Amino acid sequence: MYIRTALSILAGYLLGSLNTSLIVGRFYNVDVRKHGSGNAGMTNTLRTLGKKAALFVVLGDIVKGILAYLAGYYIYGGQTGGLFGGTACILGHIWPVFFRFRGGKGVLTAFAVLLMFDWKIALGLFAVFVIILLTTRYVSLGSITAAFLFPAAAAVFGRGTQTLVFSGIIAVVVIAKHHENIKRLLSGTESKFSLGSGK
Q: 90 exposed, middle or buried (CB, 10 Å; 0-12, 13-18, 19+)?
A: buried
Q: Quote the pTM value.
A: 0.91
Choose the weakest-confidence range: 27-31, 105-109, 126-130, 160-164.
Answer: 160-164
Mean per-residue pLDDT over the chain, rounded: 92
Answer whether 105's CB lies under 8 Å from 94's CB. yes
The pLDDT tens digits for 16-54 are 999 999 999 999 999 999 998 888 999 999 999 999 999
Give every CB contact of residue 4 below 8 A, 6+ residues apart in sequence: 75, 76, 77, 81
Domain boundaries, the chain: 2-187
Mean pLDDT in residue range 156-165: 88
* pLDDT at 179 > cutoff 80: yes
CA distances from 91 to 94, 169, 189 (A): 5, 10, 28
